């Protein structure tokens, strides 16, 4: 199974890297770094914010063979090492990006300072559902997913209130490589780290949208409870009026929660 190639976009001002803590953010299936365009500027004064794109999404090259979520985590570490070798970093991710964050905490926990898992879980959907979607998109392309994704991604009324960001996100879905999208679906079909959550020792927050049908608040609570039961530190938070894309739907609230976690993790590290 191959490790996919990933590329990233700097969402904070151009400056000498290393003067500020590094925050790496990941996006959901079908979106790109655009997902973080509203939340990242609220953190960019104090953190270097780097957003990576899934294979075949945004600026990342298309995948040519199958991969799993563990391989995505490996690829994120390799990407960080290409710009800041060996540096520990904060991580936040949405949906598949959040699943990658859990895998990072399990497999590369020594590299993480903190973890914000957003609109995600230790297992998402069913293998059958993801495999069916993979075949549909391979055959018909990503535009076939636009209507269903719009319903899952955004709370009722959001697209009318915020037409620009919702349109940009749906255009990112339209432009995603169909085969890479299908590979991502297959990675999600095989993803289930519920039995490994107790090994996570990275300070973790799990953010859920109250209206998220993909990763509901109960799922966030289960993730946080499993980490805590294993001796780790984790909290679950629910955002009212939010569906599946918290950083786009509620950027100020999401960034505020992240800032609290990042500041606490930085303070804890400084005192050790």
177-199 pLDDT, tens digit per residue, is: 999 999 999 999 999 999 999 99
| Measured CA distances, 16 to 47, 206, 263 (Å) | 12, 31, 21
pLDDT the model gives residue 17: 77
CATH code given to domain 8-271: 3.40.50.1820
pLDDT exceeds 70 at position 160: yes
pLDDT-derived band at 270, boundaries 50, 70, 90: confident
Summary mean pLDDT of the chain: 96
Would you give the distance in Å from CA 207 to the centre of its chain? 11
Q: Sign of dihedral through CA atoms 39, 232, 101, 138?
A: negative
pTM of the shown model: 0.97
By C-alpha distance, which of 181, 251, 184 is closest to 34? 251
- Give the pLDDT of residue 56: 98
Residue 3: per-residue pLDDT: 87
CA angle at residue 86 from 85 to 88, to 5 degrees? 120
pLDDT at residue 68 is higher than 80: yes
Per cent of the chain over pLDDT 90 is 94
pLDDT band for position 272 (cuts 50, 70, 90): low
| Percent share of the chain, pLDDT over 70 | 99
pLDDT at 98 over 80: yes
What is the predicted pLDDT for the residue at 242? 98
Q: Tens digit of pLDDT for each residue in 21-57? A: 999 999 999 999 999 999 999 999 999 999 999 999 9
């Amino acid at each position: 199974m191959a490790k996919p190639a990933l590329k990233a976009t700097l969402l904070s001002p151009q400056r000498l890297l290393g003067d500020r803590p590094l925050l790496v953010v990941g996006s959901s299936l079908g979106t790109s770094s655009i997902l973080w365009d509203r939340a990242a500027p609220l953190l960019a004064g104090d953190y270097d914010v780097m957003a990576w794109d899934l294979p075949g999404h945004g600026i990342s090259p298309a995948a040519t063979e199958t991969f799993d979520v563990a391989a995505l985590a490996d690829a994120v570490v390799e990407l960080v090492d290409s710009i800041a070798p060996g540096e520990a970093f904060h991580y936040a991710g949405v949906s598949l990006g959040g699943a990658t964050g859990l895998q990072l905490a399990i497999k590369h926990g020594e590299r993480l300072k903190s973890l914000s898992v957003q609109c995600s879980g230790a297992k998402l959907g069913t293998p059958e559902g993801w495999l069916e979607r993979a075949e549909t998109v391979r055959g018909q392309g990503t535009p076939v997913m636009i209507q269903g994704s719009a319903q899952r991604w955004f709370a009722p009324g959001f697209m009318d209130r915020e037409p620009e960001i919702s349109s940009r996100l749906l255009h990112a879905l339209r432009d995603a490589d169909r085969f890479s999208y299908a590979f991502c679906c297959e990675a999600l079909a095989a993803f289930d780290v519920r039995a490994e959550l107790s090994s996570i020792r990275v300070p973790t927050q799990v953010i859920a949208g109250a209206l998220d049908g993909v990763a509901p608040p109960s799922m966030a609570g289960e993730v946080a409870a499993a980490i805590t039961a294993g001796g780790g530190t984790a909290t679950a938070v629910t955002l009212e009026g939010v569906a599946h894309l918290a950083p786009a739907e509620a950027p100020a609230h999401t960034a505020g929660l992240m800032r609290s976690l990042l500041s606490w993790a930085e303070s804890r590290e400084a005192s050790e």
